[in-house]
Amino acid sequence: MSIYLLAAIANFITYGPASGSDIEWLTKQRSHVPVSLGDRLEELALLDHQMDPDGASFNSLLAPMLRPRYVTSAAHTEVRQHIVSTLESLGWAVDGNRTFEMRTPRGPMDFTNVIATHDPSAPRRLVLACHYDSIYGRDTFIGATDSAVPCAMLLHLATLMTERYLDPIKGRSELTLQLLFLDGEEAIVHWTDTDSIYGARHLASELERTVYQRAGDTVITELQRMVRRTLIAGQVSDDFSAGSIFSFEDENQAVY
DSSP string, 101-168: EEEETTEEEEEEEEEEES-TTSSEEEEEEEE----TT-TT---IIIIIHHHHHHHHHHHHHIIIIIGG
Q: Residue 132 has what pLDDT?
A: 98
Can you give the pLDDT at residue 124?
Answer: 83
Tell me the CA distances in angstroms from 236 to 142, 144, 145, 150, 242, one per residue in order. 19, 15, 11, 15, 9
Q: Measure Cα distances from 61 to 159, 220, 222 in Å.
A: 10, 30, 29
Centroid of chain to Cα 102: 22
Closest among 48, 90, 83 to 65, alpha carbons compared? 83
pLDDT at 221: 54
Which DSSP state fits 28?
A: H
H/E stretch holding 59:
helix 56-62
Instruction: Report mean pLDDT in 10-residue bins for the chain, 256 residues.
Output: 61 57 64 66 75 92 98 98 98 95 98 97 88 96 93 94 91 90 97 96 87 56 55 47 44 30
pTM across the whole model? 0.81
Domains, in order of start, for the chain:
54-237 (3.40.630.10)
Count the helix, strand and coil residues of the chain and give each as a percent rounded to the nearest 5.
40, 20, 40
Give me the pLDDT at residue 49, please. 80
Q: Could you report the per-residue pLDDT of 225-247, keeping only the tens digit for each? A: 556 555 545 554 444 344 444 44
**What is the structure's pLDDT at 165?**
87
Helix (H) or strand (E) holding 229: strand 223-229
How far apart CA 220 and CA 249 sit, in angstroms, is 10
| pLDDT value for 39 | 66
Q: State the Cα–Cα distance between residues 153 and 64, nearest whole angstrom.
A: 13
